[in-house]
Each structure stands twice: as structure tokens, then as C-alpha cells.
């Protein structure tokens, strides 16, 4: 796990990909042995799991993001199996509840959601090319999936059950494993580095809360976080990757702090 200095980002894409490949190889044996989700009633030490998650969230320190500014995130999404186009996801966040997301491909918006978190929410109509008003409930059903914050950020309010599965060593790296079950979400195992407490790997199972298999198969096999970067006093992912149906996708994030603009979240 690396924590990057935002003033020293001279590392090229080949180095980034090499590091991701090494991470994937290192964890391949672990995922091969972890295909079946561990039932929640056989896991142990819930308090330990909560302490591990809270340590991670404290390191991220989302609360330090400036309330009078907008955090802008531009994410370049590379599909190793389809290099004809690079998707770009653009997100804007202004504390406490203002969110906007746009997914761009071939120079056009393919998806868009926004909300001020109070009484306004909109979805981008890709046919008529206009922002249409939707209910806040519709936004949280669909648009909230693009929240830049880890699902663990709201683990308490989401009703997530956490259990500690023990300490493991993967190619010399000591990790803590935490089992998580959240109503309406897929069962997951989270791996945190013991040394710094940062999340670096997530295994996602086809089973959702309650044990039933998701008929739509929306889960990814795994998600890896190989770099973090300091943005002010907060720590955010710089490089991540995931695999779905055997296809590996790599995402590089770029961050900027922008001037406060409430209209960004109203239209």
C-alpha cells in the first residue's frame, strides 16, 4: 500500500499498471480460497471489527473536507478488454449532502445525477439532453451508488453487521479481515493492512444480505486499492481496480478543491 504525495505524481501509467498486476497476483491465492461467504453467526469479535473499520475511517478523515468549497473528482476508467474508449466519471461534492455525478464517453454524458440533499434531485435525460427533476428517494436508490465515499462510511446508519475473521499474512503483508453484511447489499469481506489500517482489498459475493443470490449478478469479484493520496487533511484513493466477469478495470482519480457553487447541485 502506498500513500502518494500529490506534488510528486511523476509516476507513469506503466508503473501504476505494474503495481496493480503485482497486487492481483499477490491476492489471487487468497480469493481462490474465499469463494464462499462466511455465515455471520460463525464469525467472531464484532467489537474488534468495528475498531478496525473506525480506524480506517479516522485515517480517511472525510470530516476535514472544507465545508465552504467543492471537492471535484475526475476518474479515468480503463477497461483492459476494451481500449476503444476511456470512460471519465466526474463528481462534485460539497458538505454536507450536495452531490453531482456525470459519466462521460465519446464526448457525451451517458449518465448523470445530482442533489442538494434537501429538496432537489435531478437525473440527466440522455435522449433529450436535459436534467429532469426526480424525487430524493429516486436519487438515493440510484445516484447514491456513485458516492465517492466507501460504503463503510455509513456502516452504522446502513445497519451493517461487522465481524472480525482474524489476522492473515499475504505474501509477507499482515492484514485484518472483516466480514460485512448490510441490508440490500452484497456480502463482503474487507482486508485492511495491519501496519497503517488502510483498506486495500474487498471481496464481494453474489449473495446479498440474508443469503440469497442476486439474480442480476451486479456484484464485482473483487476491488483493490493500491494507492492513496492526501487532499488537505483527508486521505482518498488514488488508484483502484476491480474485476467483473473476468474483466479487469483500472480507475485513476484526480482531485481538486473548487470554489463553492450551490447552483452545481440544483441544475
Structure confidence by residue, pLDDT tens digits, 173-202: 899 999 999 998 889 999 999 999 999 899
Q: Which residue has the higher pLDDT, 163 or 28?
A: 163
Q: Are 259 and 69 spatial neighbours (Cβ–Cβ below 8 Å)? A: yes
Is 2-265 a domain of CATH 3.40.50.970? no
CA trace torsion 58, 63, 69, 70 (10° rounding): 60
- What pLDDT does 82 receive? 73
Is the dihedral angle over the CA atoms 209, 210, 215, 221 positive or is it negative? positive
DSSP 16-35: HHHHHHHHHHHHHHHHHT--
Q: Is 112 helix (H, G, I), strand (E, B) or coil?
A: strand
Cell of 81: 478488454
Structure confidence by residue, pLDDT tens digits, 207-244: 888 888 888 777 788 999 988 999 999 999 999 999 88
pTM of the complete model = 0.84
Q: Is 115 helix (H, G, I), strand (E, B) or coil?
A: strand
Structure confidence by residue, pLDDT tens digits, 41-89: 544 578 999 999 999 999 999 999 988 999 999 999 998 777 667 899 9
Q: Are 229 and 238 spatial neighbours (Cβ–Cβ below 8 Å)? A: yes
- What pLDDT does 13 receive? 53
Q: Where are the alpha helices (DSSP H) in the chain?
A: 13-32, 46-60, 136-142
C-alpha closest to that of 175 among 153, 205, 197: 197
Q: Is 153 helix (H, G, I), strand (E, B) or coil?
A: helix
Q: Examine the pLDDT at 17 and tell me if it is beyond 80.
A: no
DSSP 250-261: EEEEEEEEEE--
C-alpha closest to that of 98 among 246, 264, 234: 264
What mean pLDDT comes out for the span 1-15?
54
Distance between CA 105 and CA 55 in Å, rounded?
37
Strands (E) in the chain, as ranges, are 2-4, 69-79, 82-94, 98-105, 108-115, 121-125, 130-133, 161-170, 173-181, 186-193, 199-208, 222-231, 234-244, 247-259
Give every CB contact of residue 260 below 8 A, 6+ residues apart in sequence: 68, 69, 70, 94
Q: Examine the pLDDT at 137 and tell me if it is beyond 80.
A: yes
Q: Are 170 and 180 spatial neighbours (Cβ–Cβ below 8 Å)? A: no
- What pLDDT does 247 receive? 86
Longest dimension (CA), the chain: 54
Amino acid at each position: 500500500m502506498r500513500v502518494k504525495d500529490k506534488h510528486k505524481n511523476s509516476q507513469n501509467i506503466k508503473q501504476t499498471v505494474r503495481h496493480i498486476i503485482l497486487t492481483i497476483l499477490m491476492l489471487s491465492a487468497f480469493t481462490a480460497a474465499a469463494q464462499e461467504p462466511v455465515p455471520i453467526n460463525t464469525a467472531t469479535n464484532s467489537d474488534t471489527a468495528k475498531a478496525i473499520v473506525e480506524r480506517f475511517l479516522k485515517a480517511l478523515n472525510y470530516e476535514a473536507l472544507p465545508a465552504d468549497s467543492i471537492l471535484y473528482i475526475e476518474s479515468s476508467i480503463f477497461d483492459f478488454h476494451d481500449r476503444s474508449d476511456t470512460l471519465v466519471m466526474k463528481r462534485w461534492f460539497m458538505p454536507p449532502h450536495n452531490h453531482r455525478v456525470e459519466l462521460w464517453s465519446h464526448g457525451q454524458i451517458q449518465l448523470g445525477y445530482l442533489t442538494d440533499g434537501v429538496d432537489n434531485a435531478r437525473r440527466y435525460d440522455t435522449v433529450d439532453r436535459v436534467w429532469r427533476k426526480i424525487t430524493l428517494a429516486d436519487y438515493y436508490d440510484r445516484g447514491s451508488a456513485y458516492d465517492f465515499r466507501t460504503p463503510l462510511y455509513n456502516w452504522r446508519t446502513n445497519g451493517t453487521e461487522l465481524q472480525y475473521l482474524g489476522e492473515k499474512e499475504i505474501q509477507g503483508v499482515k492484514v485484518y479481515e472483516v466480514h460485512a453484511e448490510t441490508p440490500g447489499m452484497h456480502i463482503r469481506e474487507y482486508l485492511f493492512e495491519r501496519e497503517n489500517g488502510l483498506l486495500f482489498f474487498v471481496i464481494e459475493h453474489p449473495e446479498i444480505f440474508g443469503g440469497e443470490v442476486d439474480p442480476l449478478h451486479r456484484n464485482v469479484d473483487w476491488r483493490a486499492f493500491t494507492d492513496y493520496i492526501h487532499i488537505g487533511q483527508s486521505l482518498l484513493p488514488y488508484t483502484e481496480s476491480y474485476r467483473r466477469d473476468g474483466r479487469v478495470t483500472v480507475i485513476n482519480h484526480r482531485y481538486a478543491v473548487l470554489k463553492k457553487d450551490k447552483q452545481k447541485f440544483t441544475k
